[in-house]
Structure 1
Amino acid sequence: MRAVHVLSTAAIAGALLLGACSRGSEPEQMLASLAPTPQIDPANYVQTAGMSDLFEVEAGKVAGRRARSGEVRSFARMMVKDHTASTRKIRDAVAASNLGIRPPTALDPQHQEKLAELRSAPRAEFDRLYMEGQVEGHQEALKLQQSYGESGGDPNLKAVASQLAPIVQHHLDEAQTILSGLQ
């Protein structure tokens, strides 16, 4: 019975490839779509998510002082609180898995530059610039959380990423709403 199943699976894959070829698709593309999604490395996830959290906390502190809109200041406070909690959840998952990975504790040059731009932005433009950055950053963060939640290499971090994805989606929705009101 197992041989029949294997043969059937091979026959289906072959038929799919033949069908794709007859429609002008590349067989490699079809094979790639049948391949399992590679796992995302836990160290890369921790570094990327940690840098995002660190930046969101620092940018939120700047926005708490510089934003003109109460709505933007409120959003900034939420960023500090939620991204501090996110870092804690990731650290706890790393410890539970005994991975020996540490989230970053200092901003990399790219994020330092973004933070410097926020600090030096004209006050009249600050709210819009901050919220544009929030939309962009949360779009990237959502992709990261969703991807790791689906195909991450560590089960504890996958669980955290799956918990964080809806929070990041909420942040993105709020950022888009606030930004649309500023323009």
Structure 2
Amino acid sequence: MKKLFILAPWALIVAAPAMAQVMPAADYVKTAGASDLYERQSAQIVLQTTTNPAIRSFAQMMLTDHGKSTLMIKAAALKARVRPAAAMLTPTQAEMIAQLRAETGTARDAAYVAQQKAAHGQALAVQQAYAMDGKAMPLKTAAAKIVPVVQHHIMMLKTM
């Protein structure tokens, strides 16, 4: 039996109070790096099999946009004198990647879209919080530039 792992909306609500506190710069860089890595890896997986042009286009955009945000955050981290560690998936992200690999065909497409909706909601909360209350100005500026990109991704996902 295949499991569909989707972050429930309540999981984001439970996480909201923790995100309301200002994240230290190093934690923000680590969190954003993991998010970008997950986005790129999941896009690569779905691109291997999808025949849906909307999902294909979205996944290709994820590779481009999350590659750009990774570079932006790394540059901002250097300016802020925060050493960016090598990006690593969280255990939840690793499980989501494993689920995508286990699925095939339209089931993989559906899992990808569901995961993207949850992941982008979480990413938006992190970026908005750091853009508003972050302490490292270069990272705060980068987060503010990333917010509208994530919002655009969420709007696109609503049509899928």
User: Any runs of at least 4 consecutive aligned residues in structure 1 with deviations exceeding 4 A, and if so which?
Assistant: none
Question: Is 1:117 equivalent to 2:89 in the alignment?
Answer: no
Extract unaligned runs of 5+ from structure 2.
1-19
Identity %: 33
Q: Give 2:114's aligned residue.
A: 132
Aligned equivalents of 1:103, 1:79: Cα separation in 2: 22
State the 1:38 CA deviation.
5.2
Structure 1 residues 127 and 146, CA gap change in structure 2 (3 angstroms): same
Q: Give 1:52's aligned residue.
A: 35
Structure 1 residue corresponding to 2:64, chosen from 81, 94, 99: 81
Question: Is 1:163 equivalent to 2:145 in the alignment?
Answer: yes
Contact residue 51 and residue 103 of structure 1 kept, 8 A? no
Q: Give 2:73's aligned residue.
A: 90
Q: Give 2:23's aligned residue.
A: 40
Give the counterpart letter for 1:172 in structure 2.
Answer: I
Aligned equivalents of 1:148, 1:66: Cα separation in 2: 36
Aligned residues: 141
Contact residue 67 and residue 127 of structure 1 kept, 8 A? yes
User: 1:82-110, CA deviations, whole angstroms, 9 ceiling, x for partnerless residues?
Assistant: 0011000000001111222x143332333
Q: Which has the larger radius of gyration?
A: 1
* Larger fraction in helix: 1
Extract unaligned runs of 5+ from structure 1.
1-36, 179-183
What secondary structure is seen at the aligned counterpart in 2 of 1:66? coil
State the 1:177 CA deviation.
1.0
Contact residue 22 and residue 129 of structure 2 kept, 8 A? no
Give the counterpart letter for 2:157 in structure 1.
Answer: A
Structure 1 residue corresponding to 2:88, chosen from 106, 110, 114: 106
State the 1:176 CA deviation.
1.6
What secondary structure is seen at the aligned counterpart in 2 of 1:177? coil
User: What RMSD, in angstroms, separates the aligned Cα atoms of the two structures?
Assistant: 1.4
Aligned equivalents of 2:154, 2:86: Cα separation in 1: 23
State the 1:143 CA deviation.
0.6
